């Protein structure tokens, strides 16, 4: 039972960090066409855009996960009776 209570360890904000880094790299590369100052400015802008993207993606993933758990509870996958008929249904007829 101790194993059931253990959940996967979630590394917080990994998605945000990875999108920020990739945004910084992309911004630096694109900005480098304008010279050293462009590379610095492009890196800063890319970091900001990447971080904002990561925040949105992480929030959406959390929302989707909550929605999936609600559906699983509704249909009986989690803590329920998946495939069982409701008590109010009449018994099935057999031939």
pLDDT tens-digit series, residues 33-90: 999 999 999 999 999 999 999 999 999 989 999 998 888 887 777 776 666 777 787 8
User: Which ranges of the chain does DSSP label H, i.e. alpha helix?
Assistant: 2-5, 14-31, 36-75
Q: Within a 13 Å sphere around the CA of 58, how many CA atoms are in the beta-carbon half? A: 17
Confidence check: pLDDT of 5 > 70: no
Distance of CA 43 to the CA centre of its chain: 25
Domain range for residue 58? 14-75
Indicate whether 49 belongs to any domain.
Answer: yes
Give the predicted TM-score (pTM) of the model.
Answer: 0.64
Indicate whether 29 belongs to any domain.
Answer: yes
Number of domains, the chain:
1
Task: Tell me how far apart the alpha carbons of residues 6 and 79 are, in angstroms, rounded to a whole number.
Answer: 17
Residues 6+ apart with CB under 8 A from 84: 76
Residues 6+ apart with CB under 8 A from 56: none
Indicate whether 58 belongs to any domain.
Answer: yes
Indicate whether 61 belongs to any domain.
Answer: yes
């Amino acid at each position: 039972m101790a194993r059931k209570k253990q959940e996967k360890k979630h590394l917080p904000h990994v998605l945000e960090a990875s999108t920020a880094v990739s945004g910084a790299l992309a911004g630096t590369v694109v900005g480098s066409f304008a010279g050293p100052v462009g590379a610095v400015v492009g890196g800063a802008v890319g970091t900001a855009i990447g971080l904002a993207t990561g925040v949105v993606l992480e929030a959406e993933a959390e929302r989707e996960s909550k929605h999936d758990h609600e559906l699983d509870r509704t249909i009986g996958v989690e803590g329920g009776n998946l495939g069982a008929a409701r008590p109010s249904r009449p018994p099935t007829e057999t031939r």
